[in-house]
Amino acid sequence: MAKILILGASGNVGSALVQQLTAAGETVVRATSKKENLQADQVHYDIAQNVGLEAALEGVDRAFVLMPPGYTNQDVLAAPLFAAARERGLKKVVFMTAMGANADPNAPMRKAEIALEQSGIPYNIIRPNWFMQNFNSFWIQGILEQGKIFLPVGDAKGSFIDARDIASVAATLLTSDTFANRDFDLTGAESLDHHEVAAILSEVTGKTITYQEVSPEAMRSNLLAAGLPADYSEFLLLILSFFKLGYSAAVLPTVEEITGKAPISFRQYAQDYRQAWL
């Protein structure tokens, strides 16, 4: 069995990935930026500060890489990790970015992808669409306080994907070389606008939940008030503007092609996370 390093192990995708790999009998090492009270399967690695890299890669065969939220210089953060992974002879790196990351070759996220593609390391790049789990995390305050989803995306549709499906794809790619050196856009099985999302959440919870479009300026104020850095707030506004233009609507068969399982539906997600909105 491989020894697999997981960056972002406490997030929606990372935690599900750790669970799936562990259940399959794989040896998993969870990277954490915290120094104290490390658990037996944790190693201190702060990618934002480039601290702990050598220890994190000790004995590792494969790695799942996800940049920490709040940073827009993904290429700078990823460079030391990919260089060290090459020197260590890692057998596979699975790098998660976001759908549309390859649209601009000069964007930091795409530069990070290119660095991995040109590194000589066997790799996969996965670019998931917007997470279903955003509705029980990032967008939850408006739902709980006012029964509203506030976003600047108009009536555009999105093929939202469950983080658990992303984890299943990553687990397959980490433990198999069938799809080596390929990149994949990942979506859910249906495309919904936010009125349809709100209707499903209302049906599942028994509460009245609606969608209300807000201006980018109002969204910016909300993001900054929540403590997000200004540059990261602008990055989120940029990709939300792409959503409004329809770039998140495509439905692709990739999840089922890789995992052999149909993606989780939005209704199933809502039922599984129902308690979050009560």
To the nearest 10°, the Cα dihedral for 117, 120, 123, 124?
20
Phi/psi of residue 32, each to 5°?
A: -145, 145
Smallest CA-to-CA distance from 113 within 122, 129, 102, 104 is with 102
Dist. CA 123–CA 146, nearest whole Å:
44
Dist. CA 18–CA 6, nearest whole Å:
7
Which letter does DSSP use for residue 189 in this model? S
Buried b or exposed e, range 10-22, using 16+ CB within 10 angstroms: ebbbbbbbbebbe
CB-based contacts of 260: which residues, under 8 Å, 6+ apart?
none
Dist. CA 268–CA 16, nearest whole Å:
16
Output the CA angle 34-127-45, nearest 5 degrees.
15
Q: What is the pLDDT of residues 142-192, one digit of tens each?
A: 999 999 999 999 999 999 999 999 999 999 999 999 999 999 999 999 999
pLDDT-based confidence at 226, cuts 50/70/90? Answer: confident
Tell whether the model's pLDDT for residue 1 goes beyond 70: no
What are the CA-CA distances from residue 163 to residues 35, 60, 65, 133, 213 (Å)?
Answer: 27, 24, 15, 7, 25
Query: Any bridge partners for residue 157, and if so which?
Result: 193
Share of the chain above pLDDT 70, in %: 100
Dist. CA 254–CA 163, nearest whole Å:
14
Q: Check residue 217 and give its pLDDT.
A: 95
Enumerate domains of the chain plus CATH numbers.
3-129+162-187+250-263 (3.40.50.720)
Q: What is the mean pLDDT of residues 253-269?
A: 98
Tell whether the model's pLDDT for residue 88 goes beyond 80: yes
Q: What is the pLDDT of residues 61-83, one digit of tens each?
A: 999 999 998 888 999 999 999 99
Q: What is the mean pLDDT of residues 261-265?
A: 98
Query: Kind of pairing, strands 123-128 and 62-66?
Result: unpaired
Tell whether the model's pLDDT for residue 2 goes beyond 80: no
Locus of tokens 């990149």: 183
Q: What is the mean pLDDT of residues 120-127?
A: 97
Mean residue pLDDT of the chain comes to 95
Smallest CA-to-CA distance from 94 within 174, 184, 26, 13 is with 174
Show the tokens assigned to 4: 């697999």
